[in-house]
Amino acid sequence: MVELMAILLFISICAALMAGYPVAFTLGGVSLLFAGIGMLTGTFDGGYLNALPNRLFGIMNNQTMLAVPLFVFMGVMLEKSRVAEDLLESMSRLFGTLRGGLAISVCVVGALLAASTGIVGATVVTMGLLALPTMLRRGYDPAIATGTLAATGTLGQIIPPSIVLVLLGDVMSSAYQQAQLKMGIFSPKTVSVGDLFVGALLPGLLLVGLYILYIIGVAIFQPKKLPALPQEELGPIEWGKLINALVPPLLLIGAVLGSILAGYATPTEAAALGALGAMALALYKGKLNFGQLREVAYGTTEISAMVFLILIGASLFSLVFRGFGGEVMIEDIFAQLPGGVLGAFFLVMVVVFLLGFILDFIEITFVVVPIVGPVLLAMGLDPVWLGVMIALNLQTSFLTPPFGFALFYLRGVTPSSVPTSTIYKGVLPFILIQLFLLVIAYIFPGLITWLPELVYGK
């Protein structure tokens, strides 16, 4: 009966979220409802709820989570300062005379935006509004154009500094400590957001490289789909404008990631540096006034409040789920799966992939990972490798038809002349590239773990 309540709790929350109810209030409200039912039926110990105030106090005092509003501020500020527009125009002139040059420009700019903003929806919409009309007007195949935009827009999931990795890093840190305590290790090792940033760097860059290789392959074997443009139509390459558009964002990204890699700053401190640098960049470009600053502040407050409210709701859910014996039930299920730790890992990856259709990464990070993370880590998986694999998996899920979030974002800015089926067709090669990278990272875990071991000696 107790374990049945845990299952019903999880199913009820998923059903309520699919029905469109607000995430934070659904997590907290449904959990409290089940806790009340459990106390009336004698299946839940109300003493578990006594831990909630301490959890909330811990959330508010969590220095790692302070990086969230700072990175969000950095991303929104860069979005308002039209960095993407300047970059795309300059890159298009540089690569436009090559077959597939515009698509390659989109990949490069998308990667830079991902490393600058870390916000998937904003990147997809911004790139879609800026690049898609130009690509279609100049004869690009609509499927390849929309597929490239959707795929590069999701790079913000995996290329640091990523909001996904900040949230995952905090959750994985807690899960890793729980796993070690269960294993009888009372001086546990730690895993940080910085570890995940460094671990995701090589897979993220490799992914960009694979995207560009695919575009080059299409340009060679199906040249009509990616026409080259005459230099006269593009206009002359203005090297001063190109340097002015490219160097400041690169310096900002280098300062943020470089300070973390060199050990000079924690991710939270680097986020503060990024927020200040984004303001300086907007001022340098003359794109910052009081009205825009107010919009950035409102946008940052809105997104940050949503994240922390979901985290509070998720904390209540995890307490109630644990009170119903859900964690023990998950451990028993994993222990009985064929293939041991590998079987458990593949099951979690499939579940996370499917949940990515109906839940945002924030819900999955705060609801699912705290449940399965400690169990998987207690079975011997590396926390950095597991965190980056989950991030890559979520990125793939966000691209997959018919429910991928990136597809919804792109559909909203795509002209009606381009059918939804064309967008689905366009993302399929990129989904295969994502799956290929997941397989490579599974076979060669050093792709993820080598750089953190080199930098941090872990």
User: Which range has the worst mean pLDDT, 156-160, 203-207, 381-385, 428-432?
Assistant: 156-160
- Whether 317 has a pLDDT exceeding 70, the answer reads yes
**pLDDT exceeds 60 at position 458:** no
- What is the mean predicted confidence (pLDDT) over 393-402? 84
Name the range with the highest mean pLDDT among 224-233, 327-336, 432-441, 449-458: 432-441
Query: Over the stretch 41-71, which tens digit does the pLDDT of each residue have?
Result: 888 888 888 888 887 887 778 777 888 888 8
> What six digits make up the tokens of 185?
């290790």
Q: Is 107 helix (H, G, I), strand (E, B) or coil?
A: helix
Q: What is the pLDDT of residue 206?
A: 94
Q: Considering the chain, what is the average pLDDT of its residues?
A: 83
Question: Of 134-148, 207-221, 227-241, where does mean pLDDT reach its minimum?
Answer: 227-241
Which residues in 91-111 are b (16+ Cβ under 10 Å) and which e?
bbbbbbebbbbbbbbbbbbbb
* Measured CA distances, 267 to 9, 47, 187, 324, 408 (Å): 35, 36, 24, 36, 31
* pTM confidence score: 0.84
Which range is least confidently modeled, 17-31, 108-122, 250-264?
Answer: 108-122
pLDDT confidence tier of residue 215, bands split at 50, 70 and 90: very high
**CA angle, corner 436, sides to 419 and 100, nearest 5?**
50
- Rounded to an integer, the average pLDDT of 437-444 is 94
Exposure string over 333-363, b if 16+ CB within 10 A, otherwise e: ebeeeeeeeeebbebbbeebbebbeebbbbb
The CA R_g of the chain, rounded to the nearest whole Å, is: 23
Return the domain boundaries, the chain: 47-456
pLDDT of residue 342: 85
pLDDT band, residue 118 (cuts 50/70/90): low
